[in-house]
Amino acid sequence: MMKVFVPNESAAGEPRVAATPETVKKMVGKGLEVAVQAGAGDRAHFPDDLFTAAGASVVEDRSAALSDADLVATVSGLSADEIRQLKAEAVCVGLVAPHQHADAVIAYRDQKINCLAMELVPRISRAQSMDALSSQASIAGYKAVLLAAYRLAKYFPLLMTAAGTIRPAKVVVMGAGVAGLQAVATAKRLGAVVEVSDIREVVKEQVESLGGRFIELPDMGGGEGEGGYAREMGEEFLRKQREIVTRHVSEADVVICTALVPGRKAPVLVTQEMVEGMRPGSLVVDLAVAQGGNCVLSKAEEEVIHQGVTILGPSNLPADTPYDASQLYARNVWALIEPLLGESGVNLDLEDEVVAGALLTHNGEVRHAPTREALEGDSK
């Protein structure tokens, strides 16, 4: 019987869990033996007794469970030392951030672990239910607006009172991916006027369908990259973009930054000069801070105040909604794992587009080309 282990997340400030009682029940129904580390779901409000009721065993010894597992499901991946405790050819699933954790990638490779990185799942129709980046980004976009509304020194909606009219807040969203579109929808529900900047003209219709105003940019063609993400643009284009966006940012009460390019540093879209042109009391919420940030002044998990403008750098907003974030993420994990189950365990068909895309390491090799190239570059 294949053994699955769900550990307590050891990363600081990570309350999510990679399996819920709902998905554990499905695993058990497929004949898997599931062990959950004691307290793994506590911070996401899934106590141990719910996992026990779903058919899992609750274990205290993390090291023993790791060394015994055929498959380990995580949110933020394992440390290099923990990876070395796994048996060869075990399968590990999680948001492993390979570009940030080279030591873990090396350990996965050297230990001959089959690592499926959730952030590498290809954005194709068949894999939509496995797309953890989208499920978590949607939560981040929602929470970013609530954070901004809480911190802003004015109302979001238009208010007409006996004491006079309060004009609605103006929100500029940088990037119209999943997080950006959820930010647009949430800000509109709160009554703000919303403008959106994105290099992909294809998202204009989506922005407008949510009630946002699309900021037109010159020479929009070719802004869409692989998998529907924005592709990395040249400095000349970014300079022209900044010139146009600067005017809109200077009039904004809130700027929410969501623009990412997979596997690369986030593009700088909000310069120091742009921040200095904003009104005192306005806010920047930078959701791209974990990859360097879209705002040049943002710092991860810090509040920066520059000439009266507050720049917030929350790097893990989905963790602020751990119950729903865990439910969505656990379903993504199960959607990836279930089709791979065979009589002898996990069947990794390297010809399968989803497996080929998500497989970070396999049989002692780093299969993800950008990560492999980065490691080779570091070794020179």
Please pick, among 123, 151, 231, 372, the residue that the annotation labels catalytic: 123
* Catalytic one of 76, 108, 111, 131: 131
Is the backbone of residue 223 left (phi > 0), alpha (psi -120 to 50) or beta? Answer: alpha
Nearest one of 320, 266, 262, 253 to 298, comparing CA atoms = 266
Identify the CA nearest to 193 among candidates 166, 163, 162, 161: 166
Q: What is the Cα–Cα distance from 27 to 330, expressed in whole angstroms?
A: 11
The DSSP call for residue 90 is: -
CB atoms < 10 A from the CB of 23, how many? 26
Among 76, 85, 134, 282, the one annotated catalytic: 134
Our answer to whether residue 123 is catalytic in this structure is yes
Q: What is the DSSP letter of 230?
A: B
Q: Which residues of 254-265 are buried (b: 16+ CB within 10 A; e: fewer)?
A: bbbbbbbbbbee
Annotation says 229 is catalytic: yes
- Number of other residues whose CB lies within 10 A of the CB of residue 279: 11
**Is residue 67 within 8 Å of 87, Cβ to Cβ?**
yes
Place of tokens 């966006």: 245
Contact 156, 186 (CB under 8 A): no
Query: Is the alpha carbon torsion for 67, 316, 44, 120 positive or negative?
Result: negative
| Annotation marks residue 344 as catalytic | no
The answer to whether 72 and 86 are in contact (CB under 8 A) is yes
d(CA 87, CA 112): 8
Q: Clarify whether 291 is annotated catalytic.
A: no
> Which residues of the chain form beta strands (DSSP E)?
3-6, 33-37, 57-59, 71-73, 91-94, 114-117, 159-161, 164-166, 170-174, 193-197, 213-214, 254-257, 283-286, 303-306, 309-312, 341-342, 345-346, 359-362, 365-366
CB 69 within 8 A of CB 2: no
Catalytic: which of 57, 63, 100, 128?
128
> Active site residue: 135, 229, 326, 329, which one?
229
Active-site positions read 123, 128, 131, 134, 229
